[in-house]
A and B are shown apart, each in its own frame.
Chain A
Amino acid sequence: MTLLRASGITHFFGGLCAVTDFNLSLDRDELLGIIGPNGAGKTTLFNIITGVCRATRGSILFRDAEIVGKSPDRIVRMGIVRTFQNIRLFNELTVLDNIRVAHYGRVRYTPAEALLHAGRYREEERRIRRHSDELLALFRMGHLSGERAKNLPYGLQKRLEIARALATEPELLLLDEPAAGMNPREVDELMDFIRWTQREFGLTIILIEHQMRLVMGICRRIIALDFGATIADGTPQEIQTDPAVLEAYLGEKAVR
């Protein structure tokens, strides 16, 4: 069953074409990897899917609803959420509040109820609190609830960022270079963690990654981009032997 269908996505930054005619049909429960050299348009693609940039041309259907042109917060409410290449937590807020902020779109009370702490406020806040505590406990971060996000070590910040994304109750999770800055042992842990997260939360995942060990290890399908164009789409084995991919990474001479 198709969860996300992108057709003819093209995006220009001024005269520079960042993404050219990108097409994708993503099934539920897939774990798709996107690879490509720096500047290939991977992050731009995430920005388009999450509504940060508006694609110059093309359409993206998520569960048969158009998302191009929708605001980021509406797209989150529809069930797509992302993490960032450089961690973007709310640094001065506590771990708990980072998670609670992400519940924004799932809360049902009006500004008036918030100003008076009346009506559905109490019941809804209790629900958010319980859900956040459970999520943090599940991520083994319950004891850190009151800590400011900026005080966490790098690895825990990455974990908190994923937990925060999951607090929005997504169906599709976009991970932008989750293994950046990790040593091989940490990458192994991350691979287990991503598999576990996908199972536990019933997610469909797209991840951008430079570390081939991670992509080849957990993705059953990989798309390779170069200069905004899709140059390959297939299983890890197919990608590893694809001449266009080798050329993009190693240069024309090396392939010959």
Chain B
Amino acid sequence: MGRAFLKKDLTGKERSQGRWVLPVFLVSGSVLSFAIPHFDLLDQYIQLILVYLGINIILALSLNLVNGYMGEFSVGHAGFMSAGAYIASFLTVKVFPAGALAWAFPAAVVAGGLGAGLLGLVVAIPSFRTRGDYLAIVTLAFVMIVKSALENIDSVGGARGFLGMDKLTTLPWTFFWTVATVWIIRNLIYSRYGRGVLSIREDEIASGLMGVNTRHVKLIAFVVSSFFAGVAGALFAHVLQFINPRMFDIIKSTDVLVMVYLGGIGSIAGSILGATAYTFLLEALRPLEIWRMVLMPLMLVLLMLFRPRGIMGLRELPWLEPAADRLSSPNGLNGLRNSRGANGFGGKRKDE
């Protein structure tokens, strides 16, 4: 036992040493996101991939909230994404005046997110009664409904698709929204609602019996998750400048699922890693043409066999945890521990 404690103590120190990582990353990241396009530091193609990377991180992390942290199985992310994409595009093309677009774009993104969040609320209600496979079917149906609905709405182009968006998704905006998503979802996870989400994954009945309002918690997780899927959709529409309903079919959802399970369930670092690996691999394997669609699933199969929880499954990088949430060193508790306490029941085995 003693040695295990020593190890824990060391990680405690390592944790406090990593505190500079996050601020340094945020400052240099935001400076770079402005500098890269302004001075053309990187190839246009690489800049585009960086924007897609940001969007994929937002998608993976928001899906991880429901599938990884809460342990449900939703395949509805493409539906929420398309809602965000269409709402935001409709606003920037048909509603907002052309002169004010640069400033109105954030409002369009938020509106896309809110629309998707509202849809998330609608999907969350049947999910109170269903879990696992059943929720997968409900959300699968949802994706199909959204797709056929969009194909039949003429004011957004129907099956032909919708175009006319300006390229408003810049590198700084992508960086901003990615950081905002990570920050807000992390905040949620390290709160009573987040712990409720985790306890639902572990044992939903016990969760309710420990006072967690499971309906409320599921609702919040679903709405937040679909909000950010909508945000990602809005950003996606304004970088591609063209959307059609077929882009948001079940294949899009499975792309996000791959990122989540590749990176690791229940881990922010995992989602970032999964989205990064997926985005870059997809580009790096482009020369293989159609064979990459064989290689990628094969890699996923191997990963599931050898690391079923993904690369970072249920683990987190220390500097992504809020400072207040870190465990104090075990020594800090000694004073309290010895003052008064329960009889030894249950403790003996450990010493034997």
Interface residues of A (CB under 8 A from B): 50-52, 71-73, 76-77, 81-82, 84, 88-94, 96-97, 100-107, 109, 111, 114-117, 121-122, 125-126, 128-129, 133-134, 136-140, 142-143, 145-146, 153-159, 164-165, 167-168, 186, 189-190, 192-193, 196-197
Bound Cα distance A117, B188 (Å): 8
B346 touches A156 (CB 8 A): yes
CB within 8 Å for A93 and B202 given contacts A116-B187, A140-B347, A189-B344:
yes
Bound Cα distance A165, B210 (Å): 7
Residues from chain A with a CB closer than 8 A to the CB of B337 are 137, 140, 142-143
Interface residues of B (CB under 8 A from A): 5, 8, 184, 187-188, 190-196, 198-199, 201-203, 205-214, 220, 224, 266, 314, 322, 324-325, 327, 330, 333-334, 336-337, 339-350
B341 touches A97 (CB 8 A): no
CB within 8 Å for A103 and B344 given contacts A50-B209, A52-B205, A143-B5:
no
For the complex formed, measure the closest distance between the CB of A247 and the CB atoms of chain B, giving whole angstroms. Answer: 34
A91 touches B192 (CB 8 A): no
B187 touches A142 (CB 8 A): no
Residues from chain A with a CB closer than 8 A to the CB of B343 are 189, 192-193, 196
Smallest CB-CB A-B distances: 10 pairs: A155-B346, A105-B211, A114-B191, A76-B211, A90-B202, A142-B333, A137-B336, A189-B345, A193-B345, A72-B208
A115 touches B187 (CB 8 A): yes
B192 touches A114 (CB 8 A): yes
CB within 8 Å for A81 and B209 given contacts A103-B192, A109-B192, A115-B187:
yes
Bound Cα distance A104, B211 (Å): 6
Residues from chain A with a CB closer than 8 A to the CB of B224 are 115
Residues from chain B with a CB closer than 8 A to the CB of A129 are 324
A104 touches B210 (CB 8 A): yes
B349 touches A153 (CB 8 A): yes
For the complex formed, measure the closest distance between the CB of B19 and the CB atoms of chain A, giving whole angstroms. Answer: 16
Residues from chain B with a CB closer than 8 A to the CB of A121 are 191
CB within 8 Å for A90 and B203 given contacts A101-B198, A102-B211, A115-B187:
yes
- 19 new A-B contacts, CB < 8 A, other than A92-B198, A192-B343, are A76-B209, A76-B211, A88-B205, A90-B206, A92-B201, A94-B327, A96-B327, A101-B210, A103-B192, A104-B213, A106-B211, A114-B193, A138-B340, A143-B5, A143-B330, A154-B346, A155-B348, A156-B347, A189-B343
Residues from chain A with a CB closer than 8 A to the CB of B209 are 50, 52, 72-73, 76, 81-82
